[in-house]
Structure 1
Amino acid sequence: MTRSSSPVPALIELLADKTRAPSTIRLRPEILDPAMAAEIVSSDAFSALAKRFSCLLVEPVAADAALVEELARQGCKTVPVAALHVLSKDAPAAVPATAAWLAGDWWTAPPAKPNAAQSASRTLALQLVQLVNDDADTHEIEAVLRRDPTMSYQLLRVVNSLGMGMSRQITSFSQAILIMGRAQLRRWLNLMLFSSRQGDERSAMLLARVAVRARTMELLAKASGMDKATQEAAFMAGMFSLLGVLFGMPLAEVLKPLKISDAIRQAVLEHGGDIGCLLDTATWAEQWMPGQDRLDQLHLSAHDFHGLLVESYLWMSEVIQEPNGGKHA
């Protein structure tokens, strides 16, 4: 696939603070028609997002004055360009004292070598993903869960916190698996792969990035009329697409032991098929340039695309606040 010659820059960029934690969204409202941008930033979803994340405009701001005023009303701050530092994976450097936020691809740098406990935990998580994908017996899944106390604790915590209209607490793994359901268990396990790991300063941003990408792909599939199974496959493809970055290995090698569908494998490794088109669109949005021709193929307007992008960032904000229990609506 070739890139579009007519880019439509995305409205939102995720920034990290100096601790490398995702904490801020940068906006570029000037790239949209003022009326369209005003409608998006005045939506309930954007208002909810602005309450969870601080929003920045970086000088010089060329957007419509009324739009900037509306953003300021929602708490969006205008900061000097020196407050933003672009950090590259290829040329790591000290962060200037004037910088408060970090942009760039620093989070895709190879990981530090994990310790034995971290390696074992991620291996178990991958095993669990495979078992759930294979629709394995609950007892098989439970046996693997018992080998990782942290993951076991988090699963029970998530299911207990969901409420689910139950009058008693869930206290066994088999109960938890039954109540959560296989689809949600699969989603939760993928998030667990990316959740915070001691000594890996990339992990918080990786979790945020993978949550946005996967949710964006799912919403793109839904908005373009794809069925529920394809929407779920799109979410999974978004998750799997960053496993190579997570492990610091070729993606094909990470995926080799996983029995995933040909459509997901083709999408993730070759950006092929309908799901590959969704992955292209989601990854280009991260670089602020999803092609208009790509949106046309998905029968989406720029307005609808930016609306679902805001929804994806809002969902991500919920996931990283409770990184092992992001709920999905």
Structure 2
Amino acid sequence: MSTHDVPSYFQSYYEMIQNLSNEEPSLDHITELIERDISLSYKLLKLINSPAYRPKQKINSIRQAIVLLGLIELEKWIYVLAVREDIIQNSQMAEETIRLSMTRAKMCEEIGRLRTGKGDSSCYFMTGMFSLMDSLLNIPMSKILDELPLQDDICEALQGKNNKLKEILDLASAVEKAQWSRISEMCEKLNVDEKTIFKIYSESLAWSSQLMNPEKNTGKQPS
């Protein structure tokens, strides 16, 4: 946890510690808090992949990583990170890149849900979230993926291999870059409505902006 750190937002730690101290912590809420914070997500996956916890199966969601770690161990880990972040100043990363990562994550999640009709679209969220990790850490994606126990289809998509996750990531990227002909082509291929995709993009931008600027939050948590 001492190298290649991604900046994190302190309120995520403290809100999680408060939740973990409840008599009956909410696994859903804890999962949501970690998914909102790209730094916590990255560190959690690295921790799970350490010799002490390394899972037999590949990880496809933050919730699965939390279950494997256990709430007691998670609470200890969060305390350590919170104290460490208070003492050590993170290197300055591009805020816009983190915002873009979170926007992509939300977009991929929503498009994945729209396309598959399934409630669990965590693998799409993970693909979008980690798609810019090489830019944030300034190290090759292949090296990052070697350190994370992500399931094979997520790793393949992040390395540019074509699959269902990569298709949706490509569509999200095309929307970001306003590649109109590419958007039309991909929407037709994936059988999704263009207007719906732009609505998802707008909502994802609002979601990530709310996360990045919590002081402007009126108290309503993004979902």
Identity of aligned residues (%): 17
Instruction: Measure how far apart 1:147 and its partner are.
Output: 1.8
Partners of 1:216 and 1:309 within 8 A in 2: yes
Please give the secondary structure, in 1, of the residue aligned with 2:98: helix
Partners of 2:6 and 2:93 within 8 A in 1: no
Please give the secondary structure, in 1, of the residue aligned with 2:192: coil
Instruction: Measure how far apart 1:309 and its partner are.
Output: 1.2
| Count of aligned pairs between the two proteins | 167
Taking a change above 3 Å as real, the CA distance of residues 266 and 228 of structure 1, as seen in their structure-2 partners, is farther
CA distance in 2, matches of 1:288, 1:120: 27
> Counterpart of 1:292 in structure 2: which amino acid?
S
Partners of 2:102 and 2:129 within 8 A in 1: yes
The unaligned stretches of length 5 or more in structure 1 are 1-115, 154-196
TM-score by length of 1: 0.45
CA distance in 1, matches of 2:84, 2:6: 12
Taking a change above 3 Å as real, the CA distance of residues 201 and 251 of structure 1, as seen in their structure-2 partners, is closer
Higher helix share: 2
Higher strand share: 1
**Which of 101, 108, 111 is the equivalent residue of 1:217?**
108
Question: 1:1-329 counterparts in 2 under 5 A?
Answer: 119=5, 125=40, 126-130=42-46, 131=48, 133-134=64-65, 135-149=68-82, 200=92, 202=94, 204-229=95-120, 231-289=121-179, 290-322=182-214, 327-329=221-223
CA distance in 2, matches of 1:227, 1:308: 17
Taking a change above 3 Å as real, the CA distance of residues 233 and 294 of structure 1, as seen in their structure-2 partners, is same
CA distance in 2, matches of 1:276, 1:151: 35
CA distance in 1, matches of 2:154, 2:144: 14
Partners of 2:115 and 2:192 within 8 A in 1: yes
In structure 2, the residue matched to 1:90 is none
TM-score by length of 2: 0.64
CA distance in 2, matches of 1:328, 1:120: 21
> Counterpart of 1:291 in structure 2: which amino acid?
I
> Counterpart of 2:131 in structure 1: which amino acid?
S
> Counterpart of 1:267 in structure 2: which amino acid?
A
Taking a change above 3 Å as real, the CA distance of residues 127 and 301 of structure 1, as seen in their structure-2 partners, is closer
Partners of 1:218 and 1:234 within 8 A in 2: yes
The unaligned stretches of length 5 or more in structure 2 are 9-38, 49-61
Partners of 1:218 and 1:232 within 8 A in 2: yes
Deviation per CA, 1:272-324, whole angstroms, max 9, x where unpaired?
2111100111112221114322111221122111111111111112111129x
Partners of 1:121 and 1:148 within 8 A in 2: no
Please give the secondary structure, in 2, of the residue aligned with 1:253: helix
> Counterpart of 1:298 in structure 2: which amino acid?
L
Instruction: Measure how far apart 1:117 and its partner are.
Output: 8.5
Structure with larger Rg: 1
CA distance in 1, matches of 2:161, 2:175: 15
Instruction: Measure how far apart 1:137 and its partner are.
Output: 2.0
CA distance in 1, matches of 2:138, 2:161: 20
Please give the secondary structure, in 2, of the residue aligned with 1:221: helix
